[in-house]
Chains A and B, each alone.
Chain A
Amino acid sequence: MERKKTKSRREFINSSMRFGMILALGGIGGLAFRRTTGDQWVWQIDPFKCSWCGRCATHCVLNPSAVKCVHAYELCGYCDLCGGYLIPGHSDRSTAAENQLCPTAAIDRKFIEEPYYEYKIDEDLCIGCAKCADGCSSFGNGSLHLQIMHHLCVNCNECTIARVCPSDAITRVKGSDPYLMKGDFTKSTGFED
């Protein structure tokens, strides 16, 4: 009768190491595959919770901040007297620096036709201070609002802005749909009060 073959200690260690390495390689490959194809979670601002506190400009790990103002054009009234563009008590409704609310002159005002004006954000100049968003929401439709720009955001494990946000407006959203733009994502019936 043939004696049952037993593994030597060396063989056992070798096969265990081979198995462990295959498992580790598989795990790394799986993680890499998930990172490239899977749905990552990223940080974003809920514009309906934002209270324009200014901390997005001062607390992001990036300087200038990865938070920028965006414009929901379908909500905008294209107003001549724009609360998001003009400083309260402006001397004149013009593009003169002293009349502009934005501290970095990041909003471009363009005449469309009487009495409509279009307002565009220069992302390179915007620091995400929310001053315009506050003015627009107070006196207008709230079409100017803040968003975390994902070509800039480094997606920190713990967002430093989220830590200090007083209105709990920084939330996690799916990487495949990373923006919460007003208009696309609205809690009203098309217009805001």
Chain B
Amino acid sequence: MGRKWPVILIVLLSAAIIIAVIVTEHTSTLPGRRPPNPFAYDVDEFRSVDQELIRWRETRQVQLDREDIRAMAYAGGKIYLAAGNELQVIGSDWSRILRRNLPGEPTCLAAAREGWIVAGMGNHLAILDSDGETIAVSEVLGAESNITSVAILDDDIYAADATGRRVLIFNRELELTGELRGDSGVSDVHGFIVPGAHFSLAVNPEDELWITNPGIHALQNYTASGRLRSYIQRSSFGIDGFSGCCNPVHFTFLPDGRFVTSEKGIIRIKVIIGTGEVESVVAPPELFRDGTRAPAVAAGDNGNILALDFDRNMIRIFEPI
């Protein structure tokens, strides 16, 4: 016994050290060993989408070669992309038709079927021909202006200025010809409420101008003279409406006139009919990483939906099931 006590002591000491390490590891708050956040902001119940509503499937992903893609437009079978000061045009076979450096960095794009392009450049606009050559430049609209969306309607170009909370109207020479503020002179219509840099507009197949009013979660249809003709307004954290300060962030139209909307916060893409009801879900939140940007959306001539995923630098194509 007398000769064994050092061995027993070593064994006991080792056991004590092992137990201490296990207890320390178990109670540690270092990464990987943290208790759940008792103050977690939980929106999981709004992330889940009724599977019956998902009537689109993702059929293709096209990886882009730039990480700083800012804008996407679609017209005449071609996809137009802006990345830094570069304009890229992708053909219907996904081959790159054009890659051209521009004098500025576009923040938004619109393209005409004939191939000419309007680029919002933050505080001014530029018209480019189909080769990316600049053919007209607007005056600088003020250092604070932030053009976030552009659309072409006949000979007019509409530009949404998020900071100025207004829509500017230009002719084909990019001379400023008018302005919409969304107030319409009606007492209960209080103009565009734009809390962030998310202010979008688009023209539907009926040549009607639709503009988001993100502060009140609305899509509003205006006449060329600035009269409010109709609107859709739905505020909700659920799938049936829009939430937060700035939704819908992007929208476009399918060839049959249905709206396609893209939201931030709970990132999702939906198809909405004229009454404002959700007809189907194109992409549920589970297809996107939390905390990333709302994808820009465009609709192809064949009725497919193109989503520009800024997080994964790819165009994701959705087809109806």
- Residues on A lying within 8 angstroms of B by beta carbon are 52-55, 57-59, 76-83, 88-89, 101, 103, 114-116, 129-131, 134-135, 137-141, 163-164, 166, 189-193
Chain B: CB-nearest residue to A191: B197
- Counting CB contacts under 8 A, is B37 at the interface? yes
Q: Report whether over half of chain A's contact residues are helix, strand or loop; otherwise say mixed.
A: loop
- Collect the chain A residues with CB atoms within 8 Å of residue B162's CB: 191
- Cβ of A193 and Cβ of B264 under 8 Å apart? yes
- In the complex, the answer to whether A131 meets B39 with C-beta atoms within 8 Å is yes
Chain B window 176-200, contacts with chain A (Cβ cutoff 8 Å), 1 for yes, 0 for no: 0000000000000010010111000
Interface residues of B in 225-245 (CB under 8 A from A): 235, 237-238, 243-245
CB pair B45 A101 closer than 8 Å: no
The interface size of chain B toward A, counting residues with CB under 8 Å, comes to 37
A139 touches B39 (CB 8 A): no
Query: Could you say which residues of chain A place their CB within 8 Å of the CB of B265?
Result: 83, 138-139
Known: A140-B246, A193-B264. A81 touches B39 (CB 8 A): no
Q: Is the CB of A140 within 8 A of B291?
A: no
B216 within 8 A of A: yes
CB-contact partner of B38 in A54, A114, A135, A166, under 8 A: A54
Listed from nearest, the 7 A-B pairs whose CB atoms lie closest are A77-B195, A139-B244, A191-B197, A129-B39, A134-B41, A139-B265, A54-B37
Q: Interface residues of B: mostly helix, strand, loop or mixed?
A: loop
Interface: B163 (CB within 8 A)? yes
In the complex, how many residue pairs between chain A and chain B have their CB atoms under 8 Å apart? 107
Q: Which residues of B contact A89 (CB under 8 A)?
A: 45-46, 237-238
| Other contacts beyond A79-B195, A89-B45, A131-B40: 17, CB < 8 A | A53-B37, A57-B39, A77-B246, A81-B245, A88-B42, A115-B215, A116-B193, A130-B39, A131-B41, A137-B291, A138-B265, A140-B196, A141-B246, A164-B29, A189-B146, A192-B196, A192-B197
Contact indicator A77/B215 (Cβ below 8 Å): yes
Q: Please give, as numbers and ranges, the residues of chain B lying within 8 Å of A130 by CB-CB distance.
A: 39
CB closest residue in chain A, given B37: A54
Residue of A nearest to B238 (CB): A89
Given contacts A77-B196, A78-B195, A89-B45, A140 and B39 within 8 Å (CB-CB): no
CB < 8 Å neighbour of B291 from A77, A131, A138: A138
Q: How distant is the Cα of A82 from the Cα of B237 in the complex, in angstroms?
A: 11
B246 proximity list for chain A (CB < 8 A): 77, 140-141
B residues 11-68 near A (Cβ < 8 Å) are 29-31, 34, 37-43, 45-46
Please tell me if the beta carbons of A115 and B45 are within 8 angstroms of each other in the complex: no
Complex contacts, A134 vs chain B, CB 8 Å: 40-41
